[in-house]
Structure 1
Amino acid sequence: MDEAPLSEAARAGPFFALRTGTGEPREEGYARIGEAYRLTSAGAAGPVLSARVEAVAASLRTDEPRVAASLVFQGLAARVWSLALGPAALSGRVPHLRPDRLWWNPGRVAPDDLWWPGVPPIMGEPGGLAGQVGTAAFVHLMPLHHAVRRGYRVSGRLLWGNAASALTGSLWVLHDWCRERGLAEVADRAVELTRAQLVHPPLRDAGALTTEPLGYRRRTCCLYYRVPGGGLCGDCVLRDAPGRGGA
């Protein structure tokens, strides 16, 4: 894969961008992202994931690790969806970012949090473009879902709601960016690629997508309301934030 599809998508925002080029990732504090998906022999989150969850918990001033873990999951989900959806909609090509080759620095923010040394390959033809987008994302989301669910006792259904919310959030950013530049066909393609992910398990029951106007309403809550000073997200199932004693 040449870097043109990634470079073009990166113009839509930092979540659609990926650091490339040669170097020594581990010397700069990166770990292979697949390491974040591993549990210890005792079933706890491994050091890569737990370091990120602890950092997010400290930043948000929450004493509930599962809340921080939920938000870490949603943030990473938004990154992998964006890196698949953006190039797919703009160029018809999807980078194949395997977990054993993609590097993650939990202490950095997009676009410098993810690094592929060199130029990533593209997905193959089987499954069509929508299938490639799903494959590129779920190769990360499935093991990350398992790690967060088991390591932090977060509801699996809630996490799939986070994944769907992250996808539609990426869609909104890309859709608006395309519309502002007169790229109506690309914007429509992004909607259809997103819809194709939402009609199949495990995202099928996570919420409802509307297109006129573009919107999404999920059926679970990411728990952000439990953060001090937090509130409800725009797509939240809740209408009013319950007290901290709630779910």
Structure 2
Amino acid sequence: MRPAPPEAVAAALTDVADLGSFFSLAVGEADGEWRPVGDAYAAGLAHLVAGRVARYGTTEQRIAASVVQLGHAARLWAPVLGCVLLHGIVPDLGELQQRTDGPALRLPAPRGWWAPSGEALTRVVYRLVMDEHLAPLAAGLQVKVAAGLLHGNAASAMAEAARDILRHHPGLRTPVTRTPVTRLAVGLLRTGDLRGRGEFTGPDLGFRRRSCCLYYRVPGGRRCADCSLDRTPR
């Protein structure tokens, strides 16, 4: 892939941050203490899991680990898909950092590449999020969580990010068969560990996953809109 100018990468990240909190990826100096995200993965994002356990008042650490992994997946998919689909840029997440006291992410400097097209783009985006980030996070989790559940979380977070992009940019819906958002999302859902983890149920990328994130087991919790346990048609 051809490197993209740093100013173009920075502009793309700044623009997509307006789509919502999960799309926000700080660049450069930021308040707080930060560490390489690889170190956080090796620790299984333990600081966030412990916080969720305390917040939920549950003894099932795997629930907290699942929800933390789901949220982190969303913070990866959203800015990546936003930059790729709206600006044709693949951000370089090789130096990604995380706040030591929370889930926020940042890049020390804006680097990236011009996005390829077709199946090559699907492979690049899958490798960037699934192989380079979510796989090492899964390996570092300090509590046993089924691989299928974690892959389902990844699929759900990807679908939600794609759906948010469509919602903010309705012009991308028509014609549906040529929509870059839909094409990439469907391609990702047919790739690697995302394959078989769910299905899209409509042109607006309504999604039904085939596993459950376990949030409904939290005291006062509920089933998510795309939960496999809810058989209501979408």
- Checking the alignment, whether the CA contact within 8 Å between 1:8 and 1:90 is kept in structure 2 is no
Per the TM alignment, residue 194 of structure 1 is displaced from its structure 2 partner at its CA by 1.0
- Checking the alignment, whether the CA contact within 8 Å between 1:53 and 1:72 is kept in structure 2 is yes
Q: Quote the Cα distance in structure 2 between the aligned partners of 1:64 and 1:140.
A: 24
The equivalent residue for 2:3 is none
Q: How high is the TM-score relative to the length of structure 1?
A: 0.81
What's the CA shift string for 1:99-146, capped at 9, x where partnerless? xx111015335xxx1111122333675963222221221210111122
* Match 2:126 to one of 127, 134, 152: 134
Q: How high is the TM-score relative to the length of structure 2?
A: 0.85
1:35 and 2:39 matched: yes
Q: Quote the Cα distance in structure 1 between the aligned partners of 2:150 and 2:88.
A: 28
Q: Quote the Cα distance in structure 1 between the aligned partners of 2:100 and 2:185.
A: 27
Report the number of matched residues: 220
Does the C-alpha gap of structure 1 residues 33 and 186 become closer, same or farther in structure 2, counting only changes over 3 Å?
A: farther
- Checking the alignment, whether the CA contact within 8 Å between 1:74 and 1:163 is kept in structure 2 is yes
- Checking the alignment, whether the CA contact within 8 Å between 2:198 and 2:207 is kept in structure 1 is yes
What's the CA shift string for 1:140-189, capped at 9, x where partnerless? 011112223xx21111111100110111111121110111xx44469921
What's the CA shift string for 1:181-216, capped at 9, x where partnerless? x44469921221111110122111111112335311
Q: Quote the Cα distance in structure 1 between the aligned partners of 2:129 and 2:28.
A: 22
The equivalent residue for 1:104 is 98
Q: Quote the Cα distance in structure 2 between the aligned partners of 1:73 and 1:123.
A: 28
The equivalent residue for 1:156 is 147
Report the identity percentage: 35
The equivalent residue for 1:80 is 76
- Checking the alignment, whether the CA contact within 8 Å between 2:82 and 2:165 is kept in structure 1 is yes
- Checking the alignment, whether the CA contact within 8 Å between 1:95 and 1:136 is kept in structure 2 is no
CA RMSD of aligned residues (A): 2.3
Q: Which range is displaced more, 130-139 or 197-206?
A: 130-139
1:50 and 2:46 matched: yes
Per the TM alignment, residue 85 of structure 1 is displaced from its structure 2 partner at its CA by 0.4
- Checking the alignment, whether the CA contact within 8 Å between 2:96 and 2:107 is kept in structure 1 is yes
Q: Quote the Cα distance in structure 2 between the aligned partners of 1:162 and 1:229.
A: 21
Q: Quote the Cα distance in structure 2 between the aligned partners of 1:186 and 1:116.
A: 35
Structure 2: runs of 5 or more not aligned: 1-5
1:230 and 2:221 matched: yes
1:8 and 2:18 matched: no
Alignment of 1:201-240 (within 5 A): 201-239=192-230
Alignment of 1:141-180 (within 5 A): 141-148=134-141, 151-179=142-170
- Checking the alignment, whether the CA contact within 8 Å between 1:218 and 1:236 is kept in structure 2 is yes
What's the CA shift string for 1:194-242, capped at 9, x where partnerless? 11110122111111112335311111100001111001001111138xx
- Checking the alignment, whether the CA contact within 8 Å between 1:67 and 1:223 is kept in structure 2 is yes
- Checking the alignment, whether the CA contact within 8 Å between 2:77 and 2:157 is kept in structure 1 is yes
Does the C-alpha gap of structure 1 residues 64 and 123 become closer, same or farther in structure 2, counting only changes over 3 Å?
A: farther
Does the C-alpha gap of structure 1 residues 103 and 5 become closer, same or farther in structure 2, counting only changes over 3 Å?
A: same
